[in-house]
Amino acid sequence: MKGVAFGFAVDGDFNASKTLGIHFGIDGGDPTFYIGEASQSGLNYFQIGGGLGATHTRFQPKFVLKGTATQSPNFRSAVLEYLKFPPTRETFAFDVDLVKTASANLQSVKALTEQLLTARDSLNLIPFQYGSWATTYLKILRMTGLEEIVTAVDSVYATTGMAAVVAIKGMELGSE
């Protein structure tokens, strides 16, 4: 998955005589890019690309231990800070008129509302079709609004309302 590496931290026992040189390569290239050299004990932090980072699919660090005949660095750990770029996915935002949709499907607004809530809370993708588009599968991210109960002039209760739905398309295999 594409990403940008922007920071690198190393921890260890270092000094002027025992250092750790840090280089990196990206996407299979040789590790020729220089990040820096750790020469102080404890945590050493380095920016990559002057803070701009390095865009990559694969990041390959290379560590070069430098010491003397009597002193060698003790390298304990390294942490890469990066931001992943997930594949772009289509999102859909639409309003559901509860009364019209329930009437068109010969059901009550309450039953439709329960179906929408079940779909929202489901861990499964749900089928979605719009106009002449082929059916696609979505996950509902959020749904607001839903029903209102109103009293008409003649004291008859009616249910009305809108559901604002936001959904995202499921990822397809191999869509990195």
Looking at residue 150, its pLDDT comes to 58
Looking at residue 38, its pLDDT comes to 96
Confidence of residue 87 (pLDDT cuts 50, 70, 90): confident
Q: Is the pLDDT of residue 123 over 90?
A: no
Looking at residue 111, its pLDDT comes to 87
Looking at residue 24, its pLDDT comes to 94
Amino acid (1-letter code) at residue 139 = K
Domain ranges of the chain: 3-84, 91-169
Looking at residue 61, its pLDDT comes to 93
The fraction of the chain above a pLDDT of 90, given in percent, is 35
Confidence of residue 11 (pLDDT cuts 50, 70, 90): very high
Mean pLDDT value across the chain: 85
Report the alpha-carbon distance of residue 165 to residue 121 in Å, rounded: 13
Report the alpha-carbon distance of residue 140 to residue 109 in Å, rounded: 19
Residue pLDDT, tens place only, 19-40: 999 999 999 999 999 999 999 9
Q: Which residue has the higher pLDDT, 87 or 143?
A: 143
Report the alpha-carbon distance of residue 162 to residue 145 in Å, rounded: 6
Looking at residue 158, its pLDDT comes to 60
Element (H, E) at 99: helix 98-104
Report the alpha-carbon distance of residue 95 to residue 165 in Å, rounded: 6
Report the alpha-carbon distance of residue 136 to residue 121 in Å, rounded: 18
Identify the DSSP state of 50.
G
Q: Is the pLDDT of residue 41 over 80?
A: yes
Residue pLDDT, tens place only, 150-162: 555 554 556 667 7
Looking at residue 168, its pLDDT comes to 82
- Predicted TM-score (pTM) of this structure: 0.55
Contact 24, 48 (CB under 8 A): yes
